[in-house]
Structure 1
């Protein structure tokens, strides 16, 4: 699991890494002293959990958290010396997962991290599958192909995926593709149905339209022109 630590004080970064590394030796840590470096790291590495200091030069931790939440799948923890209710409220509105205050107490941090201990190697594999789907949903994907890429048995991966996510691989992939199709239907009204089908990974326009209607009770064209449709968000 990849962990991102962001703080403009190098000592704080080293302390966090030192505490966690002693108890989570299989985690990989990436450190950044400002938001710009953090964003570059997030583009290159699949980050699972990020600890962000609020007070930093340039873009602050809350602004960084908002950008990371918008573009990436990760849990975010705000860390700050300021015990401000306003900061806590802002963090929750952005969608961060928790809020810790400095100075960091090792026993409290480890107690907090217990819920992440279950992110085992198996869980990391499922996270990798989800990452592949979200980055390559428009390509030809199958459980077998992905299983080969991450060096797992396809039958075992299928079972673990269902256990972790609560839905089968194929259903999850189609649902994710359909959510992206809805976004394209609204934001790119000049695109034809065949182009949207291709851009979202469906083999044909006919299959795309059929599965869309089965899922949402209306055709893609009807959805595009339906004034009563709700604004949907990919999760």
Structure 2
């Protein structure tokens, strides 16, 4: 799994690299000291997870997070020396999955990374499959299409996906699409429910609303009203 660390302070980068490598020696780590370097790395490598310092020279970590979040295929964790609620709130609105404070404490870092332990043990085939799903979730994705993209048999991919991810391909795809829809409902209030449904890869608004309510207990419209009124 490819991980990107972005911080303008070299000592902070090296500490973060050391702590992650100690627990996850097989992860591949890339380091950047500003947003420009980070974007160059992202162009060349499939990054799964990025740690972004908020205070970067030039483009800030929050601005970089906004740019990367629009792509929707990289999990973002903010790193900040400021325990500022406004920073934290803005980060979460951008779809950042978590944040940690400086100086980085090993226990806090490992608590954040615990959710990725299983992903780190995925085979290369499953990692590639997940990356395709996260990039193309708004398209009509099928197991046959994914299998052809990574050059394996679809029945084998189906079995391997369930074994490693712990759920079937369709279940994972719907779950991922719903999470993207939740973000879009909040971040793009000008979009209709029908448009959000279509942009997230659902064939019909009725089906989208049905499984959205099943997952959240609310309709998409009620969810948007509640979240945007806070």
Using structure 2 for the length normalisation, give the TM-score: 0.65
2:98 is aligned to: 98
Q: For the residues of structure 2 that align with 1:35 and 1:107, how far apart are their CA atoms?
A: 27
Q: Which sections of structure 1, spanning at least 5 residues, go unmatched?
A: 177-210, 218-229, 231-235
1:83 is aligned to: 83
**Secondary structure class of the residue paired with 2:119:** coil
Displacement over 6 Å in runs of 4+: 136-139
Give the CA RMSD over aligned residues: 3.6
CA distance change for structure 1 residues 56 and 172 in 2, over 3 Å: closer, same or farther? closer
Q: Deviations over 1:74-132 (max 9, x none)?
A: 21110011111111111111110111100011232123212210114436533312433
1:31 is aligned to: 31
Aligned residues: 185
2:225 is aligned to: none
Q: Deviations over 1:198-230 (max 9, x none)?
A: xxxxxxxxxxxxx95xx457xxxxxxxxxxxx9
Q: Which sections of structure 2, spanning at least 5 residues, go unmatched?
A: 178-201, 207-220, 222-230
Alpha-carbon contact 2:73-2:135 (below 8 Å) kept: no
1:71 is aligned to: 71
2:6 is aligned to: 6
Using structure 1 for the length normalisation, give the TM-score: 0.64
Q: For the residues of structure 2 that align with 1:22 and 1:131, how far apart are their CA atoms?
A: 25
CA distance change for structure 1 residues 124 and 76 in 2, over 3 Å: closer, same or farther? farther
1:116 is aligned to: 116
